[in-house]
Amino acid sequence: MNQQGGLINCKKCGSLFIKGARDICDNCFKAELEVVEKIKTFINKKGQEKTTIEEIVNELGIDKNELEDLIEKGRLFSVMPKLIIKCRFCGIEIEDEQKSSFVCTKCLNKFSPKGDLAKINALKEEQQKEISERRIRRTYSETDGSKSRCGFIQNYDF
């Protein structure tokens, strides 16, 4: 069910608002923007020196979970190279590519059994095959002059 335009509660403050692209209300979004700017200003003032999450939390009084949420959302993308983020499991500094997940590559591989990765890849391959078969069926059904489509994809255009 699509809730675009429906009335929902803000995930931060609980107030009712009409859902758009965000799951938080305009007031909370404006407050979030202010926090993001405050963090970016703090990090940029340090120059080339890298900053840890703990430093930001201690200096600016921002909740650590809120800061991690902003990082996961990609709101601090422009200052990510200046952030020192440590792996949640082993504590080593994470490379730039994995910073938003808070897990280093070593731990990610350690906690992701190879059998599971093979299953995921096989499932992705199967889904791609199914999509291409649907496209072929759709193309075949359109060549007979009618615009009808097969099965559940009749209302979708690829």
Q: What is the pLDDT of residue 62?
A: 92
64 and 137 both lie in a single domain: no
Does residue 1 belong to any structural domain of this protein?
A: no
Claim to verify: residue 57 and residue 94 sit in the same structural domain: yes
Domain co-membership, 124 together with 104: no
pLDDT at 58: 94
Please indicate, yes or no, whether residues 126 and 106 belong to a single structural domain of this protein: no
pLDDT tens, 59-82?
999 999 999 889 888 888 888 888
Is residue 158 assigned to a domain?
A: no
pLDDT for res 3: 46
Residue 47 included in any domain:
yes
Nearest CA among 66, 110, 63 for reference residue 89: 110
Is the separation of the CB atoms in 34 and 25 below 8 Å? no
46 and 73 together in one domain = yes
94 and 134 fall within a common domain: no
**Both 122 and 98 in a single domain?**
no
Q: Confidence class of residue 126 from pLDDT cuts 50, 70 and 90?
A: confident
The answer on 89 and 35 residing in a single domain is yes
Number of domains in the chain: 2
Average pLDDT over residues 4-17: 86
| Of 128 and 1, more confident | 128
Q: Let me know whether 54 and 98 are in one domain.
A: yes
Does residue 6 belong to any structural domain of this protein? no
* Rounded mean pLDDT, 41-66: 91
Is 157 domain-assigned?
no
Task: Report pTM.
Answer: 0.62
Claim to verify: residue 81 and residue 144 sit in the same structural domain: no
Three-state DSSP class for residue 30: helix
23-41 exposure pattern, b = at least 16 Cβ within 10 A, e = fewer: ebbeebbeebeebbeebee
Span 8-35, average pLDDT: 90
In a shared domain, residues 134 and 101? no
Q: Are 84 and 51 in contact (CB under 8 A)?
A: yes
**pLDDT at residue 147 greater than cutoff 70:** no
Say whether 86 sits in a helix, a strand or coil.
strand
Same domain, 37 and 81: yes
Q: What is the mean pLDDT of residues 42-70?
A: 90
How confident is residue 111, by pLDDT bands cut at 50, 70 and 90?
confident
Phi, psi of 58 (to 5 degrees): -70, -45
Determine the structural domain holding residue 134 and report its residue range: 114-149
Please give the residue that has the higher pLDDT: either 33 or 98.
33
* Residue 4 is assigned to a structural domain of this protein: no
Q: What is the pLDDT of residue 137?
A: 57
